[in-house]
């Protein structure tokens, strides 16, 4: 099953100020997709989900006699979730879920063909867990849990930050020295 959508728009206007006319133009492109795969039989249920959302936004502010300012933002939000449910020979059920998610933002501000500032944020995570149920769907516990997350920020001011944490068996196993405690 595949579903998608793409949209674009432009909005522009101006304001007469004591320093002259200031014109602002906003243009955006947005896209979304949802792709899913299923494999189902009497002892197995598999669902793989792939979502993608992106947004590109440009704002241009111009005034006669001054270089235009351009503000650009790009967002990216991919998400993948894989769910596998297996019925074991004793009737118990194991459901394994794997989730990969990313948040990404890049920004740039420019004037007269040059950059004034830029920045980037990247936050990624991968999480896996298997839930164990008896044949009546009573939760017995979980197994195989692991999780990893990384956050990275850089910008034109020289700021840089990286934090990475991991967990296994429901316990924090590591974190980078730069992570806030």
- pLDDT tens series, the chain, 181 aa: 689 999 999 999 999 999 899 999 999 999 999 999 999 999 999 999 999 999 999 999 999 988 999 999 999 999 999 999 999 999 999 999 999 999 999 999 999 778 789 999 999 999 999 999 999 999 999 999 999 999 999 999 988 999 999 999 999 999 998 886 5
Q: For 178, phi and psi rounded to 5 degrees?
A: -80, -10
User: What are the contacts of 132-137 at 24+ separation with CB within 8 A?
Assistant: 132/92, 132/93, 132/94, 133/92, 133/93, 133/94, 133/95, 134/91, 134/92, 134/93, 135/90, 135/91, 135/92, 135/93, 137/93
The per-residue pLDDT for 51 is 96
| pLDDT score for 127 | 97
Please indicate, yes or no, if residue 180 is contained in any of the structural domains. Answer: no
Q: Is residue 59 part of a domain?
A: yes
In a domain, 20, yes or no: yes
Domains contained in the chain, number: 1
Domain assignment present for 62: yes
b or e along 11-38 (b: 16 or more beta carbons within 10 Å of the residue's beta carbon)?
eeeeeeeeeeeeeebeeeeeeeeeeeee
CA distance 5 to 79: 16
Task: Output the pLDDT for position 1.
Answer: 61
Judge whether 181 lies within some domain.
no
* Structure confidence at residue 180 (pLDDT): 66
Asked whether residue 48 is assigned to any structural domain, the reply reads: yes
158 DSSP 8-state letter: S
Instruction: Report if residue 89 sits inside a domain.
Output: yes
Q: Which residues span the domain enclosing 59? A: 2-175
């Amino acid at each position: 099953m595949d579903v998608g959508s793409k949209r674009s728009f432009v909005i522009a206007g101006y304001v007469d100020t004591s320093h002259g006319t200031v014109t602002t133009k906003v243009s955006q492109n947005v896209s979304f997709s949802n792709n899913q795969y299923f494999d189902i039989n009497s002892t197995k249920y598999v669902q793989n989900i792939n979502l993608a959302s992106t947004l590109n936004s440009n704002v241009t502010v111009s005034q006669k006699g001054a270089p235009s300012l351009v503000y650009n933002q790009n967002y990216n939000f991919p998400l993948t979730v894989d769910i596998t449910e297996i019925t074991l020979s004793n009737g118990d059920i194991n459901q394994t879920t794997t989730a990969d998610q990313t948040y990404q933002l890049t920004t740039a501000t420019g004037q007269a063909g040059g950059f004034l500032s830029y920045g980037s944020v990247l936050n990624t995570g991968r999480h896996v867990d298997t839930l164990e149920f008896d044949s009546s769907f009573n939760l017995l516990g979980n197994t195989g849990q692991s999780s990893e997350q990384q956050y990275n920020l850089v910008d034109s001011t020289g700021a840089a930050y990286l934090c990475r944490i991991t967990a296994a068996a429901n316990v924090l196993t590591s974190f980078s020295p730069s992570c806030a405690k």
